Amino acid sequence: MNPEMTQKGSLLYRTLLALALIVLAAALRIAPHPWNFTPVGATALFSGAVLKDRRLAFLFPLVALFAGDIFIGFHKLLPIVYASFLVNVAIGLWLRDRRTIARVSLATLLGAIQFFFVTNFAVWQLLGGFPHTASGLVACYIAGVPFFWNTLAGDAFYVALLFGSFAFAERFSPAFERSSRRMLP
């Protein structure tokens, strides 16, 4: 068989698997779950790390978020939340060349931390539940700590599921083999 055709077929299978895993994770977002224990941050990291087309890597998590929000509902902070998840996609881009357990773990932690700081700042700034003072901002961050732990736990769980499933497919299915360790979907 033509090696170029084999490589293109592998790329197609890898991309389809990545997209299927993202769709599955997005569907899980609308299932009942503890506050902030969702697959969204992990999906964004995964998308940035494994989808070769950067436009698709940034677009697909946004589409998945929007589809979920049709069922969950829309709110004032959506642009901020969506932007924060685009930061997670950018963090995922850092994983493209070397997806090690340590790097994926660090990316997961960084994604949860940036989401915490960005979204809680938006809550303080835009929702009016806290005074617009330094102590009000600190109080907002303190009130958000329980949500941070759920975000981190959800991200860690779904990162293990997404990256683990993908690594399993790469290792045990010839259709997903990489011809070079640097070739990513």
First to last CA, the chain: 20
The pLDDT of residue 7 is 62
How many Å apart are CA 170 and CA 175, to the nearest integer? 8
Q: Do 150 and 34 meet the contact criterion of CB atoms below 8 Å apart? A: yes
How many Å apart are CA 172 and CA 125, to the nearest integer? 49
The pLDDT of residue 182 is 38
Per-10-residue mean pLDDT for the chain, 185 residues long?
57 79 78 85 94 91 87 92 97 93 97 97 95 97 96 96 89 67 41
The pLDDT of residue 28 is 80
The pLDDT of residue 134 is 97
DSSP 8-state code for residue 185: -
| CA-closest candidate to residue 82, choices 27, 41, 112 | 41
Domain locations in the chain as residue ranges: 3-176
